Every structure is written in C-alpha cells, then in structure tokens.
Amino acid sequence: GAGVSQSPSNKVTEKGKDVELRCDPISGHTALYWYRQSLGQGLEFLIYFQGNSAPDKSGLPSDRFSAERTGGSVSTLTIQRTQQEDSAVYLCASSLGRTDTQYFGPGTRLTVL
Amino acid sequence: AQSVSQHNHHVILSEAASLELGCNYSYGGTVNLFWYVQYPGQHLQLLLKYFSGDPLVKGIKGFEAEFIKSKFSFNLRKPSVQWSDTAEYFCAVISSPSGNTPLVFGKGTRLSVIA
C-alpha cells in the first residue's frame, strides 16, 4: 500500500516568508509525528497527534511553528516568518497507534535564504 | 522526561568487523524499543523492535539487539558488517502501554564501513 507522502520535496524560501509543509499519513494510522532533522542534530521531535486528543506541541521550537491535522488524516506544518536557522529536513511519520512502529515519509528539505 | 542516549556519534569500521552500538534510555516503566536506520538518500526505516518476550530480537540484514532491563540498555549488534551497512542508526523508546508521551529518539550514530 501507499506509504507516508510529503510535499513539497524541496522548498526554498526567503527569510521572513511563511511556508506550509504537507504530510499524508498511511490510511488508518491514528498517530502522526513531525520531526526536524538537521546535520549533526539527529531527529528533533516537533509535534505529535494521536487520534482526537489534543496534540503534544512540546517540541515546537517557537510560536512561529504550528501544525494542524484535519479530519484525522492530512497534516500541515506551518512556519511563519522563516529564519535561516529553520533550514532543515522536516520529516513526518505515522503509526497505527502511539506505541507502534512509525513509518516515515521522504521529508521536505527547507532552505531559508 | 524520557531520554535516549547514543554514546557513539560516529563509528568507523572495516568490512567484516563486528559492530555494537550503544543505546541507553531513562524511563522506569515498561517500554517499547526500536532501532531505525537511514541509508544515504533514503527514508528512515525500521531495523528491529522490542515489545515483549525474548529480550534478544533479530531484525533485517543480520542485525540484532538485546534488551537488558536492569541496565536500561538496548544495544545494536552485527557480527560482521558490510560496506552497505554504512548509514545512520537511531535508537528510540516509548512508554507502553499507557501514557501520552511520544516516541523519543536518540541523536543517532553514523556508521561508516570501509573496505
């Protein structure tokens, strides 16, 4: 079946602009995660959605970052007023439930000039 | 809060050498444990996982890991590495079955296998 998809695959933007990154999880997966991967920094947890529960936003680095998940499926990560330090690969993953194996998308490479 | 430590940032091995990557976590309750791998230019993918039962788990490509509860460890091993094992390896832990905390990843270990 289809895996996790993300779009766009690459995004180049100017400092100060807003960007939206999209994630389509595997159908039926109730848990959805966003991570940020920077060179030498490993995987940085950003936000986690589980079913209809309130999302865990504890990893969002600033109030410029927000995410939503509509209808328990597609999720959008929004970064407002982008800064150069936001440049990274943004990964989305989904799993059947909170403790199950996560399946990762290919990521969106964001470059802020 | 849960945390995962991967003590080796970068490991360089010759082909056929044995591999052991360390992973320690901090959480006193029941956990599910994972090793993920990211080959160059590819997605993160599951290498192996431990949920319950035999603490020695076997994964793809000849990898195995042993859960030692008393040491809060889940080290990854392979008896003889190949050049194609060059990748970044991530250990991850989540409290199970109850709780609301998300999966926590270590910072990763980069493995370079040289001929």
Q: How many domains does chain B have?
A: 1
Cβ separation of A104 and B34 shorter than 8 Å? no
Whether the pLDDT of residue B1 is over 80: the answer is: no
User: Is any Cβ of chain B less than 8 angstroms from the Cβ of A25?
Assistant: no
User: Is any Cβ of chain A less than 8 angstroms from the Cβ of B96?
Assistant: yes
Nearest to A31 by CA among A102, A89, A107: A102
Whether the pLDDT of residue A41 is over 80: the answer is: no
User: Is any Cβ of chain B less than 8 angstroms from the Cβ of A101?
Assistant: yes
Q: What is the band of B101 on the pLDDT scale with cuts at 50, 70, 90?
A: confident
- Residue A82's pLDDT is what? 97
Whether the pLDDT of residue A40 is over 80: the answer is: no
CATH of the domain at B59: 2.60.40.10
- Residue A90's pLDDT is what? 97
Q: What is the band of A88 on the pLDDT scale with cuts at 50, 70, 90?
A: very high
CATH of the domain at A54: 2.60.40.10
Nearest CA distance, A15 vs chain B (angstrom) = 27
Residue B15: Cβ within 10 Å count: 13
The per-residue pLDDT for range B9-48, each reduced to its tens digit, is: 999 999 999 999 999 999 878 899 999 999 998 989 999 9
What is the chain A residue with the closest CA to B6?
A42
Question: Of the ranges A15-29, A30-44, A76-90, B53-67, which one carries the lowest mean pLDDT score?
Answer: A30-44
**Mean pLDDT to the nearest integer, A41-45:** 84
How many A×B Cβ pairs under 8 Å? 51
Q: Residue B17: what are its φ and ψ, rounded to 5°? A: -70, 160
Domain that holds residue B7: 3-114
Whether the pLDDT of residue A47 is over 90: the answer is: yes
Whether the pLDDT of residue A10 is over 70: the answer is: yes
What does the mean pLDDT of chain B come to?
A: 92
Whether the pLDDT of residue A1 is over 80: the answer is: no
Cβ separation of B105 and A45 shorter than 8 Å? yes
- Residue B98's pLDDT is what? 67
Domain that holds residue A34: 5-112
Q: How many angstroms separate the Cα of A81 from the Cα of each of A13, A17, A19, A47?
A: 10, 5, 8, 19
Who contacts B84 (Cβ-Cβ below 8 Å, separation ≥6)?
B113
Whether the pLDDT of residue B99 is over 80: the answer is: no
Whether the pLDDT of residue A101 is over 60: the answer is: yes
Of the candidates B43, B51, B94, the beta carbon closest to that of A98 is on B94
Of the candidates B43, B99, B105, the beta carbon closest to that of A43 is on B105
Whether the pLDDT of residue A98 is over 80: the answer is: yes
Cβ separation of A99 and B32 shorter than 8 Å? yes
Nearest CA distance, A27 vs chain B (angstrom) = 18
- Residue A94's pLDDT is what? 95
Dihedral through CA B51, CA B55, CA B60, CA B61, nearest 10?
160
User: Is any Cβ of chain B less than 8 angstroms from the Cβ of A52?
Assistant: no
Q: How many domains does chain A have?
A: 1
